[in-house]
A and B are shown apart, each in its own frame.
Chain A
Amino acid sequence: MTNPSQDKTPLLEVDELAVDYGLKGVSSRAIDCVSFALRAGEAVGLVGESGSGKTTTAMAIAGLLSPNARVSSGEVRYRGNRLPIDDDAAMRPHRWSETSVVFQGAMNALNPVHRILKQIAEPCMLKLRMSRSEATARARELLELVGIPADRGAAYPHELSGGMRQRVMIAMALACRPSIVIGDEPTTALDVITQAQILKLLGELRSQLNLALILITHDLSVVAEACDRVMIMYSGRIVEDGTVAEIFAQPKHPYTRLLIESIPNPASGKKMIRPIPGDPPNLVNRPSGCAFHPRCPSAMAVCATEVPSLDKFGQGHVACHLHRFSQKDRVAAHA
Chain B
Amino acid sequence: MSESIAKYPHPGRTRAIKNFLRQFLGYGGAQLGLICLVFFLVMAALPNILVGPLQTAINATGDFLAPPSGDHLLGTDEVGRDVLNLVVHGARISLTIALLATLISLIVGTTVGMTAGYYGGRLDVWLMRLTDFFFVMPSFVLALVITPVVVEVIGRGQEILGFRPSLFVILVVIGMTSWAFVARIVRSQTLSLKERTFIDRARVVGSSNLSIMARHILPNLVPQIAANGALVVAGAIYVETSLSFLGLGDPLQPSWGTLLSLAQRAGAASAGAWWYLGAPGVCVLTVSLSFVLIGNALDDTFNPRRRVIP
Contact = CB atoms under 8 A, between A and B. Distances in A.
Direct contact between the two chains A and B in their complex (CB within 8 A):
yes
B309 A55 contact: no
Nearest to B307: A23
Taking chain A's interface residues, is the majority helix, strand, or loop, or is none over half, making it mixed? mixed
A67 B308 CA distance: 9
Contacts of B308: 23, 66-68
A23 B310 contact: no
B62 to A, nearest CB: 52
Interface residues of B, number: 4
A197 B309 CA distance: 32
Interface string A42-86: 000000000000011001000000111000000000000000000
B310 to A, nearest CB: 6
Contacts of B307: 23
A62 to B, nearest CB: 12
B267 to A, nearest CB: 53
Interface in B265-310: 307-310
A23 B309 CA distance: 8
A255 interface: no
B310 A56 contact: yes
B81 to A, nearest CB: 51
A292 interface: no
A27 to B, nearest CB: 12
Contacts of A59: 310
A21 interface: yes
A264 to B, nearest CB: 27
Contacts of B309: 21, 23, 66, 68
B230 to A, nearest CB: 25
A56 B309 CA distance: 10
A67 B307 CA distance: 13
Nearest to A283: B309
Nearest to B26: A24
Contacts of A21: 309
Contacts of A68: 308-309
Contacts of A23: 307-309
A66 B310 CA distance: 8
A21 B309 CA distance: 8
Contacts of A67: 308
B301 to A, nearest CB: 16
B308 to A, nearest CB: 6
A56 B308 CA distance: 13
13 contacts: A21-B309, A23-B307, A23-B308, A23-B309, A55-B310, A56-B310, A59-B310, A66-B308, A66-B309, A66-B310, A67-B308, A68-B308, A68-B309
Interface of A: 21, 23, 55-56, 59, 66-68
Given A66-B308, A66-B309, 11 more contacts: A21-B309, A23-B307, A23-B308, A23-B309, A55-B310, A56-B310, A59-B310, A66-B310, A67-B308, A68-B308, A68-B309
Which 8 pairs from chain A and chain B are nearest by CB? A21-B309, A23-B309, A68-B308, A55-B310, A66-B308, A66-B310, A56-B310, A59-B310
